[in-house]
Amino acid sequence: MLIVMKSGATPGEIDGVVQAIERLGFRAHVMPGATRTAVGITGNPGTLDPVRFEHLAGVSEAIRVTKPYKLITLDLQPDQTVVRVGDATIGGPELAIIAGPCAVESREQTFAVAEAVRASGARFLRGGAFKPRSSPYDFAGLGEEGLRILAEARETFGLKIVTEALDEAGVDLVEKYADMIQVGARNMQNFSLLRRVGKSKLPVLLKRGIAATIDEWLLAAEYVMSEGNYQVVLCERGVRTFTQHARNMLDLAAIPVIRRISHLPIVVDASHAAGKSALVRPLARAGVAAGANGVMVEVHNNPDAALCDAAQALTPEEYLTMVNEMRGIHRLLSEGVSA
Amino acid sequence: MLIVMKSGATPGEIDGVVQAIERLGFRAHVMPGATRTAVGITGNPGTLDPVRFEHLAGVSEAIRVTKPYKLITLDLQPDQTVVRVGDATIGGPELAIIAGPCAVESREQTFAVAEAVRASGARFLRGGAFKPRSSPYDFAGLGEEGLRILAEARETFGLKIVTEALDEAGVDLVEKYADMIQVGARNMQNFSLLRRVGKSKLPVLLKRGIAATIDEWLLAAEYVMSEGNYQVVLCERGVRTFTQHARNMLDLAAIPVIRRISHLPIVVDASHAAGKSALVRPLARAGVAAGANGVMVEVHNNPDAALCDAAQALTPEEYLTMVNEMRGIHRLLSEGVSA
Amino acid sequence: MLIVMKSGATPGEIDGVVQAIERLGFRAHVMPGATRTAVGITGNPGTLDPVRFEHLAGVSEAIRVTKPYKLITLDLQPDQTVVRVGDATIGGPELAIIAGPCAVESREQTFAVAEAVRASGARFLRGGAFKPRSSPYDFAGLGEEGLRILAEARETFGLKIVTEALDEAGVDLVEKYADMIQVGARNMQNFSLLRRVGKSKLPVLLKRGIAATIDEWLLAAEYVMSEGNYQVVLCERGVRTFTQHARNMLDLAAIPVIRRISHLPIVVDASHAAGKSALVRPLARAGVAAGANGVMVEVHNNPDAALCDAAQALTPEEYLTMVNEMRGIHRLLSEGVSA
Amino acid sequence: MLIVMKSGATPGEIDGVVQAIERLGFRAHVMPGATRTAVGITGNPGTLDPVRFEHLAGVSEAIRVTKPYKLITLDLQPDQTVVRVGDATIGGPELAIIAGPCAVESREQTFAVAEAVRASGARFLRGGAFKPRSSPYDFAGLGEEGLRILAEARETFGLKIVTEALDEAGVDLVEKYADMIQVGARNMQNFSLLRRVGKSKLPVLLKRGIAATIDEWLLAAEYVMSEGNYQVVLCERGVRTFTQHARNMLDLAAIPVIRRISHLPIVVDASHAAGKSALVRPLARAGVAAGANGVMVEVHNNPDAALCDAAQALTPEEYLTMVNEMRGIHRLLSEGVSA
């Protein structure tokens, strides 16, 4: 059930609706939009009678929602969400660039890469302290020590830190050191983890699962939002298909498809989709051309020696060329094109 | 590194090898086989020098392992693992049948289904107390109350309980009430959960991820085993492809492929692969014909009223026919066929 | 539009309906069933008014067909089609076995294999004279010389010959020498070829395309039938997915799904699905257990020296073991199983 | 085998090599490059001894080719092929735009669309006279009448005509009326058709099959080239995956991957990949950003009334906006980007 308030509804009227919902034992989600405020109801076991809400002061209409999701929809919030990470944003007019090493390997390596990231004008530094690895015998990250290095890089370079948490204990640590929590592709349907980050004050970067449909992905975002955290950024990172020439197949149609359903911003992880550095630049450009709000990319000061995903990391030079190309395309599309 | 003992190696010699490994700060995995014992080493950051072990008493050879997995391989244990759950087994001569409702809905429903399961001669009762659901608004199981009902059914009907845990806290509860912990497809690469069940005394049923390769699946089993729990059963439940006529595509070639790599038993979940009850029987028969050690199947006393996956549950009558067909095929293949 | 005749309709009444259809410039397809005859209409540009036919003598009802196919449906013919190839059948009570080399390489090789095929009691000899090869530089078959060798093997061993045609000229030649025309996976939507075999007097074995949906496959059969050739056998041979451990993934759910839509018989090509000989036997058994009307399999007297698909051919000994297992399962399911 | 000539080799020396190859009964393919000429040999049953050619006048080296393809490779021709269609090109500095209706429906419709295409500055008019349709009952094109309309539009608007042939007889007709022969996705491995267009004087637009690997696609081009027609343009049009939100998934990584293997130009068919008009513009922009040499797109003067693929056709207005965006991105990448 979605309660759409009148455009001139007062804070008191909105609060009255929230209280009415909570008195019934359900949960109210207030989502202010540019022209009207909507209040989503979750926690109701079945369908509710709209009449119950339509007589309340300030209510325009109560809509039965038949789609499997509510909070992520344009029905609830017609304007694009702008996720704020300090003074940086994802979903606003600026192209968000999230760059850094696959894994934090050392202070030296992280600082060398962070310097290149800052030089490019990007606002976000990525880097894994906890790495999900297919094999139990592979390098799994430096753990809390890696988080400390990232936090130090934040102070030194003024970048926002985006890093992955693999479980509930990991979220506690990431909250202590970082600015944005990444949920990885393998955990996209780890519902305990989704509920935990849904209770966090930090924004969430939610990667698409390796073979997730758009609906499953949006429902994973719905899990996070249903716990009260509305700062969610979707990250398309390629899906698994029959092809072998790239690590995954970047599904750029997902961007315009989701734009027509959801207000959440979307970024593209060009590195994991590519799996080879030579493919990263073309795919990152394509992502921006398809309308992504930002791009995530792996950069390493010495790709050949990287402990993780060496084949797909860009050198700082390749990375800078790519940033310029992406910004050119983004500017061209933002300003409108004339013949 | 894999240490293969001589066929007549004594317990004391085996223990000497274990101690040598542990003195180096690594982990030893003793896996007794029919003709020889092998000792796997995990936890070593890089490659080890075989010479270091080959002079120890009772050692036949030390083998560098280049494959990504060790403990699951036939190199380590050439005989098929027989997982023991009390007096029932999976991987032995008997066809293992794991049947029951998708979700535990009530004592009445669970007992009605359990009665049919016992009547069929099956040894395992399945039933979900914690259900992973794509939407946060769907029925997610009765939780601990569901586990209590299952435990009661165990006492009444003498069946072993197989049930899913979604997170580490859930494993604690499942250990308290059940006989075997199921790790679901969505959690196949939830490495924190895999490590936790690897520390459990209960055997583990490990479902294949929705788009997992054979290698990723075997490495997930390797995660469990690397923590010391060698009682792992693999469960093929269909993968996601371009087709829409069944819920997932049952990959029966996985059975003979894994047989040539691993000693772990494999069962087939015909219900999740099918998604429609009319397809369950043919697919379950096909699974047994392809060489599965057992079959997992959803049965409901009143499928039309099921709260979860109603479309794929069999009635008790359909289930009994299926069991007879499966046992006929299993007997025929076990006894050898003459023209 | 589908005209269902009354159960006691006379040949004259059926003929009257056919003439009425043809007077309108459309095509009539008379399909006699066990209890009633149906007459399908094709060639009509849009929908027809049922009333136009319902007043004709012997007509029970005229049904508007909204599905994309007509002639392949159980609506048109509720009984399973039995395709007759001389005194052999596919779709009847006997399990059809179609065995032979991938490609005809020589008279000697073909005869050695044909001897093993006859010894097994199979009725059909397969063998390619025209081989579709991904590379223009690979062995593409002996052409008409290969067909002559097959025709000679037919006389010597009393087997029916099933062989592929790649284009319309090839169909002319196959009609001259063989008993059944195979349309390969790559040509499943070669509509010119489908129309050509639809005009043939020989029955057609229609393989599923590498990524064809069930609907596309059935519509390909509809193309053949819409030209008047109703002797069509479907052949499931595996589809392309993200997996790499087998050549293709055998989609056994297709069998029960098609059973509920179509009267056409279905066989399983275990060799192309497997791609490796060790997988052929388990998959062939699984196909029979899932309800296939027959199995197609590659046998070679000297697999290591095969010019085509060497890795997937069985030796005559492996083949005989497989035939016995398949027949055992088929008998068990035909006779019904008792506990 | 690939014979690489010295950079200063004379026409007489090249001819001498060709004659030496033909005397052995093989086929020579002379491919002039910017700096050197290469001569490919096809038709040889096995490997040839390089020494046999290296002593010939003007030969730099003879290379054994182990890859499955020869003629499409950068080894043979290091410079990008520029396919010339009269005074228009694909593969040169200009972005090639191939636009028009899915099917030619009438002179009126074709001319209305052709006018918009000319107005956009595009050089190629597409339009189907022979439409491959999954169902035998769907509109299959106007046939030769459609070709006549296209030829008339060519005269009126000065556009080059690109149209599909479905079989060998169709190629004869397309050669009579059009400028470029399209081979559709369903026919990508129709080897008889590939050989036939390989003998044509017209350039060939070769669409990727619905589930073709890069290798299979390049080998299909190799089939065409091995018959002597080197004017081949590859067309990425999306592949089939588990997703349902777009008709196919556009595989943009294919562009940089093929660039590193082959000299053939690549265009992107945004309409078939999208399946919905709202997705066409973002995907077309992404294709150009990923480095495509051109874009193919369906335009209709009245999309709602289109007889074929109505949902994916752009209006002339949407099309013009798209052309401007694509040209902006192409210009930006051609000129190099400065920060």
Look up the CATH number of the domain holding residue D170: 3.20.20.70
Beta-carbon separation of D325 and A339 below 8 A: no
Are D113 and D301 a contacting pair, CB within 8 Å? yes
- E strand spans, B197-286: 204-207, 232-236, 266-269
**Angle in degrees, CA C300, C303, C305, rounded to 5:** 115
Residues of A with CB under 8 A from a CB of B: 42, 68-69, 132-137, 166-170, 186-187, 189-193, 209-211, 215-216, 219, 222-223, 226, 240
Q: What is residue C112's predicted lDDT score, i.e. its pLDDT? A: 97
Contact A253 D244 (CB under 8 A): no
Cα–Cα dist B198/B204, whole Å? 8
- Specify if B50 maps to a domain: yes
Coil, helix or strand for C163? strand
Percent of chain B topping pLDDT 70: 97
Residue A13 lies in a domain: yes
Contact D253 A256 (CB under 8 A): no
Compare CB distances from D211 to C68, C166, C240 and report the shortest one's residue. Answer: C240
CB of A249 within 8 A of CB of A289? Answer: no
**Contact across the interface for A256 and D289, Cβ inside 8 Å:** no
Residues of chain A with pLDDT under 70: 34, 45-47, 65-66, 337-339
Average model confidence (pLDDT) across chain D: 92
The pLDDT tens digits of the residues spanning B175-196 come to 999 999 999 999 999 999 999 9
pLDDT band at D336 (very low <50, low <70, confident <90, very high): confident
pLDDT of residue B156: 98
User: Would A289 be classed as within a structural domain?
Assistant: yes
Spell out the residues 6+ positions from residue D225 whose beta carbon is closer than 8 angstroms to its own.
D29, D71, D72, D198, D232
* Average model confidence (pLDDT) across chain B: 92
CATH, residue D34:
3.30.70.1140
Mutate to test the interface with D, among B239, B241, B242 (most CBs of D within 10 A): B242
Contact D282 A273 (CB under 8 A): no
Count the domains in chain B. 2
Query: Subunits with at least 3 CB pairs below 8 A relative to chain C?
Result: A, B, D
Residues B23 and B110 both lie in one domain: no
**According to the model, what pLDDT value does residue C339 have?**
44
| CB-CB neighbors (< 8 A) of B242 in chain D | 211, 240-242
Q: Do D137 and C68 touch (CB under 8 A)?
A: yes
Residue of C nearest to D137 (CA): C43
Q: Evaluate whether residue D76 is within a structural domain.
A: no
Q: Give the number of C-alpha atoms closer than 13 A to the C-alpha of residue B314, restricted to the C-beta side.
A: 27
Q: Which residue has the higher pLDDT, C280 or A138?
A: C280
Residue B266 has pLDDT above 90, yes or no: yes
B167 and A166 in contact by Cβ < 8 A?
no
Nearest to A222 among B135, B168, B209 (CB): B135
Distance of alpha carbon C216 from alpha carbon C211, whole angstroms? 10
Average pLDDT score over residue span B268-290:
95
For D172-181, what is the mean pLDDT?
A: 98
User: What pLDDT sits at residue B339?
Assistant: 44
* Together in a domain, D178 and D265: yes
Task: Give the chain A residue nearest D287 (alpha carbons).
Answer: A286
For residues C104 and C94, the answer to whether their CB atoms sit within 8 Å is no
Do A270 and A152 lie in one domain? The reply is yes
Residue A339's pLDDT is 44
- Chain C CB contacts of B278 below 8 Å: 256, 260
Nearest chain C residue to D68, by CA: C135
Min Cα distance C151 → chain D (Å) is 24
Contact between chains at B243 and C282 (C-beta distance less than 8 A): no
Helix (H) or strand (E) holding B163: strand B160-164
Report the residue of chain A nearest C248, measured CA to CA: A242
What residues of A are in contact with residue C241 (Cβ under 8 Å)? 242
pLDDT of B14 > 60? The answer is yes
- Indicate if A13 and A146 belong to the same structural domain: no
> Are residues B90 and B230 both part of a single domain?
yes
Looking at the structure, do residues D91 and D207 belong to the same domain, yes or no?
yes
Q: Which domain covers residue C22, as residue numbers?
A: 2-63
Among A240, A241, A242, pick the best mutation site for testing chain C contact (most C Cβ within 10 A). A242
Query: Which residues from C are below 8 Å from A245, CB to CB?
Result: none
Q: Who has greater pLDDT, C50 or B314?
A: B314
pLDDT at D25: 84
pLDDT at D66: 62
% pLDDT > 70, chain D? 97
Query: What is the pLDDT, as a whole number, of residue A191?
Result: 96
Mean pLDDT (whole number) for B312-330: 95
Kindly identify which residue of chain D lies nearest to residue B240, measuring between CA atoms.
D242
pTM comes to 0.89
* pLDDT mean over D278-292: 97
Whether residue B244 sits in one domain with residue B123: yes
- How many contacts (CB atoms, under 8 Å) link B and D? 8
Q: Which of A142-146, B142-146, D18-22, D187-191 has the lowest mean pLDDT?
A: D18-22
Give dist(CA C113, CA C101) in Å, integer.
Answer: 7
**Mean pLDDT for the stretch of residues D158-184:** 97
Top residue of B249, B295, B317 to mutate, by most chain C CBs within 10 Å, is B249
Q: Which of D64, D61, D60, D72 is nearest to D29 (CA)?
A: D72
Give the Cα separation of A302 and A290 in Å (integer). Answer: 31
Q: What pLDDT does residue A51 have?
A: 77
Asked whether the beta carbons of residue D282 and residue A239 sit closer than 8 angstroms, the reply is: no
Confidence of residue B47 (pLDDT cuts 50, 70, 90): low
C18 and C56 fall within a common domain: yes
Binned at pLDDT 50, 70 and 90, residue C304 comes out as: confident
B37 and B110, same structural domain? no
Out of B245, B252, B324, name the one closest to residue C250 (CB): B252
Mean pLDDT for D281-309 is: 93
Q: Are residues D279 and D318 in the same domain?
A: yes
Q: Are B4 and B63 in contact (CB under 8 A)?
A: yes
For residues C54 and C192, state if they share a domain.
no
Given a cut of 60, whether residue B244 has pLDDT beyond it is: yes
Kindly tell me if the per-residue pLDDT of B338 is higher than 60: no
Q: How far is C314 from chain B (nearest CA, A)?
A: 16
Of D169, D190, D223, the CB nearest to C190: D190
Q: What is the pLDDT of residues B99-125, one digit of tens each?
A: 999 999 999 999 999 999 999 999 999
Interface test with chain A among C239, C240, C241, C242, by most A beta carbons within 10 Å: C242
Chains that touch D (3 or more CB pairs under 8 A): A, B, C
Mean pLDDT estimate for chain C: 92
| Of D96, D112, D132, the residue nearest D309 (C-alpha) | D132
Confirm whether D52 is domain-assigned: yes
Confirm whether C68 is domain-assigned. Answer: no
Best of B192, B194, B244 to disrupt the A interface by mutation (most A CBs within 10 Å)? Answer: B192
- D144 shares a domain with D230: yes
Domain presence at residue C143 = yes
Q: Is residue C131 part of a domain?
A: yes
Whether the pLDDT of residue B67 is over 80: the answer is: no
Any chains having at least 3 CB pairs less than 8 A from chain A are B, C, D
